[in-house]
Amino acid sequence: PRLSRRATLLGLTALAAPALIRPRNALAATGSPFVQPRLNEGRIEDGRRVFDLTAAPGVHEFRPGIATDTIGINTTFLGPLLAARAGDRLRMNVTNGIGEPMTLHWHGLHLPAAADGGPHQEIAPGAVWSPEFDLMQKAGTFWFHGHQHEKTGAHVWAGMAGVLRVTDDEEAALPLPRTYGEDDFTLVLQDRRFDANGQMPYAMNMHDRMAGMQGDVMLVNGQTSPVLAVDAPLIRLRILNGANGTFYGLHFADNRTFHQIASDGGLLTAPVPMQGTILSPGERGEYLVDVSDGAAAMLRAETFGAEVAMMGTTGTPDVMEIRPRSARPAPTLPARLADVPPPPDATGEDRRFDLAMTGMGMMGDFTINGRRFDHSRIDFTVPLGATETWTWTNTTPMLHPMHIHDVQFRILSRNGQPPAPQETGLKDTVLIRPQETVALRLSFADYADPIHPYMYHCHILEHEDAGMMGQFTVV
Ligand code: C2O
Ligand code: CU
Ligand code: CU
């Protein structure tokens, strides 16, 4: 039943091999109270919202008494929840305290390429990088993470990531849960594996090189199996898949129906009912969960890697238990959410991207249009103001969540079929399954720069670091 659930969610017809069982280690479930990232609204200075972020080595207790070396941003693992409003002028003061070059990228934001924090905005050890830009997003759940050339996987694995929450008037006018820590919760989902000393070295074996780093310990904001006690009958979960290489098939143990209200770039047109959904590395979703019956709801994730079609599941760990303190009637969900206009008409190029594996077996390379990433090669340029169609074809036997900087795009079709309702909104990361062709529509507006490129890449960080990435400029 486990395989067929995932197969259904993925739209796969055949899953060949039995489940890959991995040993559980000493860090098992705790049942400790859920802890959210600390809310950080920055400070207002000369009309700008300023955030001070320092990445530095930390020691984090994933379990009481077990000290693990990490990297944190203003804390020991991950970062604060940055809260900003649409239209804010932002200034990010990023201090590199990790002792080696790093970058910090604002995933999902539309902004000038020089402020993007990709591999070309390297921050030297001890230096401060202070990009300033307008926050052009709609209300939604965005994030930030390390993006150092060939070190993205290692830096994120150690903890260099956090969530940026954007609010706006359109969202504020809707009857949705939005009280932080009461009915609105942010969950960064990750998995890690720990060695006998409680450390989580970034040490890849052959399987990790192919499928991405995966762990056997499920983490929510750096916690294992927390319990969230709530009074509210209807709660909102903002979930980020912050894993290096793991896909999460989210569902509740009792198969209750929940509703997705937002995708990567903001609200959908209407709540989408579901009993399960796949969140790929890099993707975000916002969900409403009705706990008005007073019964505990166990959020679970079926975890699997990019090689899903070949190897099967790696487990179905408990993510978090939601424990209502009482039963009470839930408000009705709004029938309509945001205005999401149809995808804009194309005015520019039709570009094709072929995802492929070259070489033999476990030593294979991942390529886009036959090429590995080259830090000094601009793969193509896009004219400012163009609306283009980008069509991705995956000829590998693996899943690839493809992410494009600078834009929130729209999904036109999957293998010629219209996207599922939860994929009709704004997206910056899209899962491309084996043998799939996915067409996107993207508009490139506002920012041109002949020198600084934007990246597009697989968000399995080990695929990105291995070269499944390209770069374009907008001119
Ligand atoms: Cu979330 Cu180029 O990254
Ligand atoms: Cu990004
Ligand atoms: Cu990939």
The pLDDT of residue 30 is 65
The residue to which tokens 């899943």 are assigned = 399
Strand segments (E) across 10-137: 39-40, 43-45, 48-63, 66-73, 81-85, 89-96, 105-107, 128-129, 132-134
Residue 245 in contact with residue 278, Cβ under 8 Å? Answer: no
β pairing state of 350-358 and 365-368: antiparallel
Taking the CA of 149 as reference, the closest ligand is 1
CB contact at 8 A, 420 and 447: no
Is the C-beta atom of 217 inside 6 A of ligand 1? no
Q: Is 105 in the pocket of ligand 1 (CB under 6 A)?
A: yes
Does the pLDDT of residue 286 top 50, yes or no? yes
Question: Is the CB of 453 inside a 6 Å radius of any atom of ligand 1?
Answer: no
Is the pTM here over 0.90, yes or no?
yes
Does residue 147's CB lie within 6 angstroms of at least one atom of ligand 1? yes
Whether residue 405 has its Cβ less than 6 Å from ligand 1: yes
Nearest CA to ligand 1 atom 3: 107
pLDDT at 17 over 80: no
The reported pLDDT for the residue numbered 19 is 37
Between the CA of 406 and the centroid of ligand 2 the distance, in Å, is 7
Question: Which two three-digit tokens encode residue 217?
Answer: 């310990």
DSSP reduced 3-state for 185: strand
* 63 ligand 1 Cβ < 6 A: no
Looking at residue 359, its pLDDT comes to 67
The length of the chain is 475
Which protein residue has the closest C-alpha to ligand 1 atom 1? Answer: 107
Cα radius of gyration rounded to whole Å, the chain: 21
- Ligand 1 neighbourhood includes 60 CB (under 6 angstroms): no
**What is residue 22's predicted lDDT score, i.e. its pLDDT?**
40
Ligand 1 atom nearest the C-alpha of 464 is 2
Q: How far is the CA of 464 from the centre of ligand 1 (A)?
A: 9
Sheet containing 387-394: order of strands:
365-368, 350-358, 387-394, 437-443, 410-414
Q: Is the CB of 400 under 6 A from ligand 1?
A: no
How far does the centroid of ligand 1 lie from the alpha carbon of residue 156, in Å? 11
Instruction: Calculate mean pLDDT across residues 226-240.
Output: 97
The reported pLDDT for the residue numbered 125 is: 98
Q: Which helix (H) or strand (E) holds 248?
A: strand 247-252
All structural domains of the chain, each given as residue ranges with its CATH number in brackets, are 2-26+175-324 (2.60.40.420), 39-168 (2.60.40.420), 350-474 (2.60.40.420)
